Amino acid sequence: MATTACPTGIAHTYMAAEALENAAKKLGVEIKVETQGARGAENQLSKKDIEEADAVIVAAATKVDLSRFKGKPIVEVPLQEAIKNAEAVLQRAIELAKEERAHKKETAQKVPKKSDEARKSSSKDIIPVSSVSGAYRHLLTGVSFMIPFVVAGGVLIALSFVFGIHAFEKEGTLAWALMKIGGGAAFKLFVPVLAGYIAYSIADKPGLAPGMIGGFLAVDMGAGFLGGIVAGYLAGYLVDYLKKVKVPEYLSGLYIIFVIPVVSVLVVGLLMVYVIGNPIASVTTALRNWLNGMSDMEAAAFGFILGAMMAFDMGGPVNKAAYTFAVGLLSENIFTPMAAVMAAGMTPPLGLALATTLKKELFTEDEIEAGKAAWILGISFITEGAIPFAAADPFRVIPSIMAGSAITGALSMALGIELRAPHGGIFAIIMPNVVNNPLAYLGVIAIGTVVTALIVIAVKKYTRREVTSS
């Protein structure tokens, strides 16, 4: 059995599942993969499935409930590991299952069997758990729950601008209603949701209330998404500590239902109000002032970094860090980083699609087919469309697309292009008033696409000649 999950849930989740299924066919192994994507859990593992499983593979960048796999050998790996080395992951799961059966047979009457945690630890010693681990995994869990609020709210805000930049100011109009739903509701909730689910990832359900309340206070005090992130971690680790406090059995119910929520909300709330909130609000204000006051060169350098991050792992942790940062700034009415991030996230698949069109002889048949899909994925701002190319040829493709995306991000920031929607690709760009300079923005994306394609083609041709000559 296997389960896959990623923060966005639109590409990596399903690519990892497909890779594991293909590897299982090759190895002659039966596998069932549950995907926890944007559509929710699909192909769910039943209790019977888990009971009959020899081992469980968990390929996830967000929190996955492992309690239902109690008693089973577990192999935890990064999503990228499952995508790139699915056979190795399956082989390790097979070996672990064999070791478990042998252990049970030899020591059934002599030695207590390994605990579930010990089995899990032994698997981690051989295949590293995700590079997305610990504190960062908690952040990505929060981001995964935040994204629907951001996307829905951002698109509704963008739709309100279709009627004019200031049309929403007239109460009772459709533009006013769209702004009220998108900006007055969805956008006000995304920081509390981010904070709440960071805490949830750390401390499970008891962390949700103090995390969300801390996030709400962060918004109320002007601490923004940075304050929300701090509140989420604070609430999560506080509740995690409180859960470990030993109390008499007869008080355990009261402690869980009453003491933990009241104490955690009180402590987090007081710390946000009297200690943390105002300093973070000052940092947020300083960040906003710095971003608004950047020179063209500074803006270009900043965009260069954001662009490179978007292409580095194509929807992975580094990509999500840049995207989360840009989305957080939307709530501060700073729109240029969002434009840079989206453009830089579109050019990797678009550039590779163009390269496969211009120089088919440099690519395999599978890559040429992937290039056709990459056109659609690219214009939709789904950077993961570049992954098949990067997985097949990482040392040439990844530096090439990073260079193209870095140039794209730098141009977008230097030109002061603003984007008010957090997603949508070409479909957001064509909406009136969503981008302050749509023609320049399309030009930047076109330049980035061409640059990416030319670099990929040049690198592949050059290295091919080097190999041939040697």
Residue with tokens 């999503």: 79
Q: What is the pLDDT of residue 241?
A: 94
Residue with tokens 């978007």: 310
Does domain 2-126 fall into CATH 3.40.50.2300? yes
Cβ neighbours of residue 328 under 8 Å, at least 6 residues apart?
Answer: 224, 225, 226
Q: What is the pLDDT of residue 99?
A: 81
Query: Across the 470 residues of the chain, what is the mean pLDDT of every consecutive 10-residue run?
Result: 80 84 89 84 86 87 80 83 85 85 66 46 41 73 87 86 85 92 90 94 93 94 90 95 90 90 96 94 88 88 94 84 88 90 95 94 88 91 87 88 96 94 88 89 96 94 57
Both tokens assigned to 140: 């990505």
Q: What is the pLDDT of residue 200?
A: 93
How far apart, in whole angstroms, are the C-alpha atoms of residue 182 and residue 155? 8
SS3 call for 245: coil
- Sequence ranges of the domains in the chain: 2-126, 135-290, 296-469
Q: What is the pLDDT of residue 108?
A: 60
For every residue of 352-404, DSSP letters joined together read HHHHHHH-GGGS-HHHHHHHHHHHHHHHTT-GGGGHHHHHHSHHHHHHHHHHH
| Residue of 5, 6, 20, 93 with catalytic role | 6
Active site includes 58?
no
Q: What is the pLDDT of residue 129?
A: 44
Name the residue among 417, 430, 445 with its Cα closest to residue 349. 445
Both tokens assigned to 144: 């995964």
Contact call for residues 269 and 218 (beta carbons, < 8 A): no
Cβ neighbours of residue 257 under 8 Å, at least 6 residues apart?
Answer: none
User: Residue 168 has what DSSP assignment?
Assistant: G
Contact call for residues 8 and 147 (beta carbons, < 8 A): yes
Q: What is the pLDDT of residue 398?
A: 92
